[in-house]
C-alpha cells in the first residue's frame, strides 16, 4: 500500500554512494558521507570531516571506531530523521486520506444536488397543478429545502420545526385557493390566524407527522455519516503530524543516520531492529487500532441500514408526493375546514382578488425544471457501498503501520547484511516486541513511557462518533427511533420494512420509481376532478413537464449551501 515511502531526493543520494562506498568497514575517507550530507541538507556545511576521526562529543552515534560525524552533523541528522518519519507517515496515509476526503466531498455534492432536485419536484407540483398558489408557495418551498440542507450539513436547526413551519405556511394558501377560492381577507392578521389554526384543525391529517418521521429517520443518519467522515480526516491529519518523544527521536537517528558516521551510507536496518524502533515510536498510535476498526465497522452498519425511509435520496425525491396528498386531503375536507376556520378566525372580509400565476417562458423550461432518469449506479446507496468496500481494506491501518513501514523499504531484505544499531551484522539477535503500549515493556531500542494526550483525545472522539453512528444504525428486528410528531417528540417502535404509509414500495432496497404527471395549469375554479393523480410506474423516475413551465417559480428556486461542512457539537 506504500508505493514510494523513501524520500525521492534521498534515493538519488544513495545512487551516488554506489560509486565507491560499498564497503562496511575500514573506511578511509568521508567523501561519500560529505556528499550525502550536503545534498540531503541542501547546501555545504563548514567543518565536515575529510577523513574519519574520534567523536567524543557525539550523543547518539557513539562508536569505538573513528567517525565521519561531528556533534553539529548529529544534530542536523536528528532533524532529518524526524522529517523522514513524518514523510513516511504522510505517504503511508495519503491513499486513505484521499479516499475519505474525496468521498466526503462527493457525498456532500450529491446531497446538494438531491436537495435542489427535490425542490424542483415540489415547485413543479405547485406550478403546474396548483398554479394559482405557486408564486405564494415558492418562498416556503425554498425555505424548507434550505433548512433541509443546513441540517444535513451540521447546522443547529430542528427538522420538526421546519416541517411544521412548511405545513403551517401551506394551509392559508390551500384555504384561500381551494377551500374558499376567489376571495381573501386583505389583512395579514387573518392569514396568520389561519396559519396558527393549522395544528388545531389538522387539515392535512397525519401527513405532516409522516413527513416529520421520514425526515427524522433519513436526515439524521446522513448528517451523522457525513460528519463522521470529517472526523476520520481529522484523525489522519493529527497522526500525520504526531509529536515523537525524545527516546523515539534518538532511536530514529540511530537507526537511519548513525551508519553514515561509519561510512555505511548504503546500509539498511535489520528487520527485527526496525520493527522494535518503529513499534516503539508508534506504540501510542497503535492504540488507535481497535477504535479505528470499530469506527469503520460502525460506518458500514449505518450505511447498510440507510434504505427505504432511512434513505435520504428516497425521502427527498418523494417529498412532493406527500405535499400533493396533503393538498388533496384538505380539499376533500374543505367544507368541514371552512366551518372550523370560520369558528376560530371569524368570517373574512370578502374582497375579490386576482392571484398571480406562474408565467410560462419556453426558454427557461430547459433550465432546472426538467429532471431526467437517475441511473441506478449513481444512487447514494451504491456510492456508499463502493466507498465502504474500499475503506474496509484500512480497518487495521494503525495496528500494522509500523510493520508496513519496515517491510516496504526501511528494513533490509531477509538474508542480507544489515545494521543492528552498532554495526553491520548477518542478523538481529535482540527480542522483537509486539505492537501497542503494553508490548513495549521489553523493547530493547525504545523506552515508551505513559500515554500520549493527543492520541487519548482522538480515541475519545472516535468513541463518541462510534456511539453516534451506532445510535443511528437501525437494528434488524425492532428499531426504537425518534419519531417526531406534531405535538412534540414521541418514540415509536417501527419495523425494519418500509410500509405503504411511508410511501415505499417496489424493490427490497426501498427505492421507489415514480412518474409524476401533472396538468398544465388550473383555472381559478379548479375542481378536484381536474387534478390528475400521481401514480407509480416501474419505468424510472422522471417528471413529465411537457406542459407549461414555471419561470417565476424558477427565479425563486435558488439554493445555496455552505461549502464547508459544519462540525457536530460534542465531537469538536
> What residues contact 377, with CB distance under 8 A and at least 6 apart?
none
pLDDT of the residue at 191: 86
pLDDT for 391-409, tens place per residue? Answer: 999 999 999 999 999 998 7
pTM: 0.74
Of 132 and 297, more confident:
297
Confidence of residue 564 (pLDDT cuts 50, 70, 90): very low
492, 483 contact by CB (below 8 A): yes
542-544 β-sheet, strand order: 535-536, 514-517, 542-544
Residues 510 and 318 sit within 8 Å (Cβ to Cβ): no
**Beta-sheet pairing, 514-517 with 535-536:** antiparallel
Better-scored residue on pLDDT, 159 or 489: 159
* Segment among 213-227, 247-261, 527-541 with least mean pLDDT: 527-541
Confidence band, pLDDT 50/70/90 cuts, at residue 517: very low
pLDDT at 366 over 60: no
**More confident of the two residues 494 and 167:** 167
CB atoms within 10 A of CB 245: 18
Across the chain, which distance is largest between two alpha carbons, in Å? Answer: 110
Residue 474 pLDDT level (bands cut at 50, 70, 90): low
Q: What is the pLDDT of residue 121?
A: 96
Helix or strand holding residue 107 (H, E) = helix 71-124
Q: How far apart are alpha carbons 511 and 542 in whole angstroms?
A: 14
Predicted confidence (pLDDT) per residue in 417-427, tens digit: 999 999 999 99
Which pLDDT score, from 0 to 100, does residue 103 have? 95
Place of cell 513511557: 449
355: left (phi over 0), alpha (psi -120 to 50) or beta: beta
Measured distance CA(242)–CA(534) in Å, rounded = 58
User: SS3 of 403, please?
Assistant: helix
What is the spatial distance between Cα 217 and Cα 115, in angstroms, rounded to a whole number? Answer: 16
Backbone angles phi, psi at 431, to 5 degrees: -65, 135
Is residue 359 predicted with pLDDT exceeding 50? no
Number of CB atoms found within 10 A of residue 533's CB: 7
CA atoms within 13 Å, Cβ hemisphere of 259? 24
Closest-CA residue to 260 (of 551, 457, 17):
17
- pLDDT value at residue 183: 60
Percentage above 70 pLDDT, the chain: 71
Closest CA to 141 of 158, 110, 117: 117
C-alpha closest to that of 36 among 263, 322, 255, 192: 263
pLDDT grade, residue 151 (50/70/90)?
very high
DSSP 53: B
Rg (CA), the chain: 34
User: Do 81 and 213 touch, CB atoms closer than 8 A?
Assistant: no
pLDDT at 187: 72
Residue 395: other Cβ atoms inside 10 A: 17
Query: What is the phi/psi pair of residue 207, to 5°?
Result: -65, -45
Which pLDDT tens digit goes with each residue over 442-452?
999 999 988 89
Q: What are the tens digits of pLDDT across the range 375-393?
A: 544 678 889 999 999 999 9
User: What is the C-alpha to C-alpha distance for residues 162 and 147, in angstroms, rounded to an integer?
Assistant: 7
Nearest of 16, 404, 59 to residue 257 by alpha carbon? 59
Sequential DSSP letters for 202-247: -TTTTHHHHHHHHHHHHHHHHHHHHHHHHHHHHHHHHHHTPPPPHH
What distance in Å separates the CA atoms of residue 230 and residue 105, rounded to the nearest whole number?
Answer: 10
Contact at 8 Å (CB) between 474 and 152?
Answer: no
CA 480-482-485 angle, 5° bins: 130
292-336 pLDDT per residue, tens = 999 999 999 999 888 877 889 999 999 999 999 999 999 999 999
Contact 127, 358 (CB under 8 A): yes
In angstroms, the Cα distances linking 236 to 99, 409, 475 are 12, 22, 30
**Is the per-residue pLDDT at 369 higher than 80?**
no
Q: What CA–CA distance (Å, rounded) separates 279 from 276? A: 5
- Mapped onto helix, strand or coil, the DSSP state of residue 384 is helix
**The pLDDT value given to residue 9:** 44
Closest CA to 228 of 40, 356, 388, 80: 388
Element (H, E) at 352: strand 351-352
Mean pLDDT over each residue of the chain, to the nearest integer: 77
Q: Of the candidates 56, 78, 73, 76, which has an alpha carbon nearest to the alpha carbon of residue 65? A: 56
Amino acid at each position: 500500500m506504500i508505493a514510494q515511502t523513501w524520500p525521492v531526493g534521498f534515493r538519488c543520494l544513495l545512487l551516488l554512494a554506489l560509486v565507491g562506498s560499498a564497503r562496511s568497514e575500514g573506511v578511509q575517507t568521508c567523501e561519500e558521507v560529505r556528499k550525502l550530507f550536503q545534498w540531503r541538507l541542501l547546501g555545504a556545511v563548514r567543518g565536515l570531516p575529510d577523513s574519519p576521526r574520534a567523536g567524543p562529543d557525539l550523543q547518539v552515534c557513539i562508536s569505538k571506531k573513528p567517525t565521519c560525524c561531528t556533534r553539529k552533523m548529529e544534530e542536523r541528522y536528528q532533524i532529518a530523521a524526524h522529517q523522514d518519519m513524518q514523510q513516511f507517515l504522510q505517504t503511508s496515509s495519503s491513499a486513505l486520506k484521499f479516499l475519505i476526503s474525496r468521498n466526503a466531498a462527493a457525498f456532500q455534492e450529491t446531497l446538494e444536488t438531491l436537495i435542489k432536485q427535490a425542490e424542483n419536484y415540489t415547485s413543479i407540483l405547485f406550478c403546474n397543478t396548483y398554479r394559482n398558489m405557486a408564486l405564494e408557495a415558492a418562498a416556503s418551498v425554498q425555505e424548507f429545502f434550505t433548512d433541509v440542507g443546513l441540517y444535513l450539513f451540521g447546522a443547529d436547526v430542528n427538522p420538526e420545526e421546519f416541517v411544521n413551519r412548511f405545513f403551517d405556511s401551506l394551509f392559508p394558501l390551500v384555504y384561500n385557493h381551494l377551500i374558499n377560492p376567489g376571495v381573501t381577507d386583505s389583512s395579514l392578521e387573518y392569514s396568520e390566524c389561519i396559519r396558527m389554526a393549522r395544528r388545531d384543525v389538522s387539515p392535512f391529517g397525519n401527513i405532516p407527522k409522516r413527513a416529520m418521521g421520514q425526515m427524522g429517520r433519513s436526515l439524521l443518519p446522513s448528517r451523522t455519516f457525513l460528519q463522521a467522515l470529517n472526523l476520520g480526516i481529522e484523525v489522519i491529519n493529527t497522526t500525520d503530524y504526531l509529536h515523537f518523544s525524545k527516546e523515539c527521536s534518538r532511536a530514529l537517528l540511530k537507526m537511519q543516520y548513525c551508519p553514515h558516521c561509519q561510512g555505511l551510507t548504503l546500509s539498511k536496518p535489520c528487520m527485527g531492529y526496525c520493527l522494535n524502533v518503529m513499534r516503539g515510536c508508534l506504540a501510542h498510535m497503535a492504540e488507535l487500532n481497535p477504535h479505528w476498526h470499530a469506527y469503520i465497522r460502525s460506518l458500514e452498519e449505518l450505511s447498510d441500514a440507510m434504505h427505504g425511509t432511512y434513505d435520504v435520496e428516497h425521502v427527498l425525491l418523494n417529498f412532493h408526493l406527500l405535499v400533493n396528498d396533503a393538498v388533496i386531503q384538505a380539499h376533500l375536507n374543505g367544507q368541514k375546514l371552512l366551518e372550523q376556520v370560520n369558528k376560530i378566525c371569524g368570517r373574512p372580509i370578502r374582497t375579490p382578488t386576482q392571484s398571480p400565476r406562474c408565467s410560462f417562458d419556453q426558454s427557461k423550461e430547459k433550465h432546472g425544471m426538467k429532471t431526467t432518469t437517475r441511473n441506478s449506479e449513481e444512487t447514494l446507496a451504491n456510492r456508499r457501498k463502493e466507498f465502504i468496500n474500499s475503506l474496509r481494506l484500512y480497518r487495521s491501518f494503525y495496528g500494522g503501520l509500523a510493520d508496513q513501514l519496515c517491510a516496504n523499504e526501511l528494513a533490509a531484505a531477509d538474508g542480507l547484511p544489515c545494521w543492528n544499531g552498532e554495526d553491520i551484522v548477518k542478523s538481529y539477535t535482540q527480542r522483537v516486541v509486539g505492537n501497542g503500549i503494553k508490548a513495549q515493556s521489553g523493547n530493547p531500542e525504545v523506552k515508551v513511557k505513559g500515554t500520549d494526550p493527543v492520541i487519548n483525545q482522538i480515541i475519545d472522539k472516535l468513541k463518541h462518533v462510534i456511539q453516534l453512528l451506532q445510535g443511528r444504525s437501525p437494528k434488524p428486528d425492532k428499531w426504537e427511533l425518534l419519531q417526531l410528531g406534531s405535538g412534540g417528540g414521541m418514540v415509536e417502535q417501527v419495523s425494519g420494512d418500509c410500509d405503504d404509509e411511508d410511501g415505499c414500495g417496489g424493490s427490497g432496497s426501498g427505492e421507489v420509481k415514480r412518474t409524476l404527471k401533472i396538468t398544465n395549469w388550473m383555472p381559478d375554479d379548479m375542481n378536484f376532478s381536474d387534478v390528475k393523480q400521481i401514480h407509480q410506474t416501474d419505468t424510472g423516475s422522471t417528471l413529465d413537464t411537457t406542459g407549461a413551465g414555471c419561470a417565476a417559480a424558477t427565479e425563486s428556486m435558488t439554493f445555496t449551501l455552505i461549502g464547508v461542512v459544519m462540525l457536530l457539537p460534542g465531537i469538536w
